[in-house]
Structure 1
Amino acid sequence: MEHSVESISEQIRNRVDVRFSVLLANLAEELAYDFMFAPKYKITHRYDPPWDCSGMLIRTNELFSIDEYNSVEDFFDEYTGQTTASYMSGMGLLHNRFEEKYEYIIREFVFQCCIEVLSEIDDNLLVQLLLENGHDISEIDKDDIIQTVMEYELFEDPFWYHYEIIERVKPISLKMMIAHGKNEAIKKYHLQLERRMKEEEKISFEEKGAQKLWNKLQKLFRLQRGCPLPKIEMKDYEMFRKFLDYNQVSIEERIILAKYLGDKFSNKVCMCLRNGQKPE
């Protein structure tokens, strides 16, 4: 098989086409999840100052209605709720839309297809292609030639191919995509909900443990020092550290104290407790 830049670019395009159905399944699940569970936003310019017309996103209590969207492209125009700096005069923020999110997903899909194809080609052939195209490879890492090929952008066409894929996706019926992805999206939602509940239980357990430990330390401090524990500033840290050492308070327990009882310590003390550090 011929291995030129053009032929490998064509292989990458073919791989993307072959795996297009996989991409659609992934997009259907993600679209269904966003459609069913993501909050809906609208933009208002009511609070814009005279020098900035960015607008502000307001979370509504509305749900997305399938009757409002004929195609995937129609849904792409909705806001995700995230913003990015514009670095433009008169508009400090840009409000992200779902189109940007899905462009990224599709671009990553094409990138992975590119990696797959390159990993099937002998490294020596890739090195030869780099040399033939005028790249100095005297200082490159020969053990990661694929990364080097990607950094030199030897195959530019496939990277732009994702725009063609996006245009193929946009006209697809949103209703059809949601129907295909709905079941997996619901499973994903329940898994995330379960993880969130477990995390909240863990946090609640740790918070209670931190307060219980602090109460214990207060009693010990009164018994050993004859006064209540003050808020620990950096000047008190060495004394407090020795107190914790004497009472065999573990590193893990100190981290929990800093994590949940930050009002008992200065910021620098919190950092020291989290890292198990001695004062400078």
Structure 2
Amino acid sequence: MKHSLEVISKEIRSRVKAKFPVLLTNLAEELAYDFMFTPKYKITHEYDSPWDCSGMLIQENDLISVDDYYSVEDFFDEYTGQSTASYTSGIGFLHNSFGEKYEDVVRKFVFGCYIEVLSETDNNRLIQQLLAHGYDISGTENEDIIQAVTDYELFEEPFWYHLEIIERVKSLSLKMMVSRGKNGAIKKHHHQLARRREEDKKISFEQNEAYKIWNKLQKLFRLQKGYSLQKIEIKDYIMFSEFLEYNRIPNDEKTILAKYMGSKFSNKVCMCWKDGQGINYSD
């Protein structure tokens, strides 16, 4: 049994080793992108309150050079610009570093290799290992065996092997990695700019449509009801829904109104339209 466990562990290590060049290529592109297109941040405590000393990230104006960093590890000390709640008294936020970001990337890579190997391993072999180590798997469905192996941490690789990989990455030259990933990073940047332009164009179009729809509804409402259309509260929902149905206003127009003309409707009305659902009038 022990021999079988060691064999599978070796298979996981071999899979990580075989796919490491792919990981390195992806890391080079991501590192180049972060270095070239992410501002450099520093922490200021100027705005700290007496009960919170977590500080605030602000952009530095100084130009940076790849020569400022000897290794990838040096760059890992920089901040991504993102912060997360600490849930610790006196420290409201923790400011994320690139080291944390890339350790998570490597952890997911190793875990992916681990799952690949387990998926290719005969389930009976895994069941035997679980039983041999005293784990109760009674009632566990066949398709849940891999999850059971993971839950019981039968193989340690995903839970510590990524640290060995991240140490290898840290020692690499940042200049070399940026040079290797530069072209891919530039393509990614251009793609994101193009996608952002398309999104902005879509938003602009939908905003114009929302104003047109609202103006059309105002005219129809005055003609049919004899008074001006005001902000729609939840108490007006039935009346307004019947008005929209009578005038055959499609759901996509309702969604656009809720998205861009929120000041004309209560939050509950907007949520009903966004979800494409009716309303529970007993609320």
* TM-score interval, normalised by the smaller of the two chains: over 0.9
Could you tell me which residue of structure 2 aligns to residue 167 of structure 1? 167
Give the distance between the partners of 1:211 and 1:97, measured in 2 at CA.
43
Aligned length: 280
Partner of 2:171, secondary structure, is coil
Q: Gaps spanning 5+ residues in structure 2: where? A: none
Counterpart in the other structure of 2:126: 126
Normalising by structure 2, we get a TM-score of 0.94
Does residue 201 of the first structure (1) align with residue 194 of the second (2)? no
Equivalent in the alignment of 1:278: 279
Per the alignment, do residues 158 and 261 of structure 1 end up closer, same or farther by CA in structure 2, a change over 3 Å counting? Answer: closer
1:67: Cα distance to partner? 1.9
- Amino acid of the structure 2 residue aligned with 1:181: G
CA deviation after TM superposition for structure 1 residue 6, in Å: 2.2
What is the DSSP-based 3-state SS (H/G/I as helix, E as strand, rest coil) of the residue aligned with 1:19?
A: helix
SS in 2 for 1:87: strand
Whole-angstrom CA distance in 2 between matches of 1:200 and 1:61: 27
CA drift of 1:62 comes to 4.0
2:42 alignment partner, SS class: strand
CA RMSD of aligned residues (A): 1.6
State the identity as a percent.
66
Query: Contact conserved, 1:23 with 1:109, CA < 8 A, in 2?
Result: yes
Aligned to 1:264: 264
Of 156-165 and 141-150, more deviation after overlay is shown by 141-150
2:114 and 2:157 in contact (8 A); partners too: no
Partner of 2:91: 91
Query: 2:93 aligns to what SS in structure 1?
Result: strand
When residues 89 and 235 of structure 1 are mapped into structure 2, their CA distance, relative to the original with a 3 A threshold, is closer
What's the offset of the Cα at 1:36? Answer: 0.6
Q: Provide the rounded CA distance (Å) in 1 between the counterparts of 2:206 and 2:112.
A: 40
Deviations 1:212-253 (A, max 9, x none): 000000000011111110100111111000000000001111
Q: Displacement, 1:47?
A: 1.6
> Per-residue deviation at 1:3?
6.0
Mapping 1:148-163, distance limit 5 Å? 148-163=148-163
Deviation at 1:260?
0.5
Compared CA separation, residues 140 and 121, structure 1 to 2 (3 A): same
Shift of 1:63: 4.4
Q: Any unmatched runs of 5+ in structure 1?
A: none
- Contact kept, 8 Å, 1:237 with 1:269, in 2: the verdict is yes
Tell me, yes or no, if the aligned pair for 1:81 and 1:96 is still in contact at 8 Å: yes
Helix, strand or coil: the match of 1:248? coil
**What does residue 18 of structure 1 align with?**
18
AA paired with 1:145?
I
Give per-residue Cα distances to partners, 1:113-169, cap 9 Å, x unaligned.
111111221111111111111111112221232222112211113420100111111
CA contact (8 A) 2:12 2:157 kept: no
Deviation larger for 81-90 or 198-207: 81-90
Length-normalised TM-score, structure 1: 0.95
In structure 1, the residue matched to 2:216 is 216
Q: Secondary structure at the match of 1:245?
A: helix
- After superposition, the C-alpha distances for 1:34-67 in whole angstroms (9 at most, x for unaligned) are 0011121111111222332211111234443212
Say if 1:132 and 1:81 are closer, same or farther in 2 by CA, change over 3 A.
same
CA distance in 1, matches of 2:3, 2:238: 66
- Displacement of 1:279 in angstroms is 4.8
- The one-character-per-residue Cα deviations of 1:52-104 (angstroms, maximum 9, x if unpaired) are 22111112344432121110000000001111222333322211100000000
Shift of 1:195: 1.1
